[in-house]
Amino acid sequence: MLVKALRNGIGGILVVGDRLTRPAKMRRPLDAQQQIDEACRQLTLYQLPRCPFCIKVRRAMHKLNLPIELRNVNPGSPHREALQAGGGRIKSPCLRIEENGESRWMYESNDIIAYLQQRFGQQA
């Protein structure tokens, strides 16, 4: 119980720090941003609001100006059950990628950020 309270307290501090120090969004021409917005409709980030690794991924998404849907996987959430059923385990962050009618589940914050940078970073 003490560990959970400590983790939530530190997580809250990290959330505030993230909001205060968030980098500027990448700017793109309107038509390029519309294409990015469309591509992002095939992505969903399963995350916890106070998780440091999730915050790291959300910062990268913000910097790259990616409107990816966020799904909270707190205990009791239906999204948590979807993560377990689709990805095979409950671990966040997890990026669900829909391609050609199939879902791919990517865990690990560094892998997710590298994927997003490779796919969307050069399109500035």
- Higher local confidence (pLDDT), 6 or 25: 25
Question: Which element (helix H / strand E) includes 104?
Answer: strand 102-107
Domains of the chain: 2-23+30-121 (3.40.30.10)
| Residue with the two structure tokens 């913000």 | 62
Does the pLDDT at position 124 exceed 50? no
- Higher local confidence (pLDDT), 5 or 124: 5
Spatial neighbors of 32 by CB under 8 A, at least 6 apart, are 123
Rounded distance between C-alpha atoms, residue 73 and residue 41, angstroms: 19
What was the pLDDT predicted at 117? 96
Does the pLDDT at position 17 exceed 70? yes
CB 83 within 8 A of CB 46: yes
SS3 state of residue 44: strand
Banded model confidence at residue 24, pLDDT cuts 50, 70, 90: confident
- Higher local confidence (pLDDT), 81 or 12: 81
Range in 61-65, 75-79, 107-111 the model is least confident about: 75-79
What was the pLDDT predicted at 3? 66
